[in-house]
Amino acid sequence: MARQKNRKNLKIADVISETAGEGWLYSDIVKDHFFHPINLLLKDPKSGEFDAEGQIGSEACGDVMRMWIKVNPKTEKIKKLKWRTFGCGSAIATTSIFSVIVTEKGGMKIEDALKVRPQDIMKRLGGLPARKVHCSVLADKAFRKTINNYFRKIGQHQRIITEGERVIDKKLNITDKDIEEAVLEGAKTINDLQKRLKVGIGDPATLLEIEQLLRFYKKKYYGSEK
C-alpha cells in the first residue's frame, strides 16, 4: 500500500530523481524564476561596468556561481546585481529571487543585504524541497564573496567577512578560504595569489604559511604541488 502511494506521488511530482527514488514539487514562484530568471547576465560585462565581482565553486568540481554588483558609494545601496550560474533549477531560482530582494525599492544597503539569509530566500519562493535547501546558500555565499571583493577594492579591509575562517593575513583580512578559492579559480603560484588577493604584500611574515597552503590545495584538487 505504501509503495503504491509513493508511486502515485512520484507521478505528480515536477521532478523525479531516479537515484533518490523520490519526487520533488516546486512552487509556482520557483518555476517562474527558473524559466524566467531575473538579472541573469549571460555575457561577461564590460570593464568598469560593475564595482566588484565574485565567484564561488569551480567548473572542475561542480556548480559555479558568478555575481557582479554596482554600489552607490554615498548610500552603500546595491544599485544593480547580476549573476550567472552553472547549476540546477533551484540554484537558478534562488539566485534570481535573491537579486530581486537586494535591489528592489531602490536597493538594500550593504549591511542590510548581508543580513538576508537562506530562510528569507526560501520564504519568498514559497519553499523548496528538502533536498534542494542547500541551493539557497549558493546566492548567499556568492554575494558575501562579491562584497568582500568590493571591500578590498575600496580599501576597507576591516569590513571583510571572515566568519568561521582562519585569518592568514591580518592586515588585509585574507583567510585560508580565500586562498583555497583562488587555487580553485586557477592560481598556481605566489604571484598568482598576490595578483588576486595582494596577500603577503602588507605582511611578508605570512608568506611561508601561504606557500604551504598553496601546495596543500594544489595537491588536494589537482594531485600535484607543482
Q: Tell me what pLDDT residue 61 has.
A: 52
Q: Tell me what pLDDT residue 148 has.
A: 95
Tens-digit pLDDT string for the chain (226 aa): 444 444 444 444 554 444 444 455 788 999 999 899 999 999 999 999 999 999 987 665 556 889 999 999 999 999 999 999 887 788 899 999 999 999 999 999 999 999 998 888 888 988 877 666 666 678 888 999 999 999 999 999 999 998 778 999 888 888 998 898 888 778 899 999 988 888 888 788 899 999 999 999 888 877 776 6
Where do the DSSP E strands lie in the chain? 15-17, 22-24, 52-57, 64-71, 78-86, 167-169, 174-175
CA angle 115–120–125, rounded 5-degree value:
145
CATH value of 26-156 in 3.30.2350.10, 3.30.930.10, 3.90.1010.10, 2.40.10.10: 3.90.1010.10
> CATH top-level class for 162-222?
mainly alpha
How many whole angstroms separate alpha carbon 128 and alpha carbon 121?
Answer: 10
Q: Tell me what pLDDT residue 118 has.
A: 80
Q: Which residues are catalytic?
A: 61, 135
Domain ranges for the chain: 26-156, 162-222
The per-residue b/e assignment along 61-97, b for 16 or more CB within 10 angstroms, e otherwise, is eebbbbbbbbbeeeeebbebbbbbbebebbbbbbbbb
How many whole angstroms separate alpha carbon 209 and alpha carbon 93?
Answer: 39
The residues facing 81 across adjacent strands are 69
Q: Tell me what pLDDT residue 1 has.
A: 44
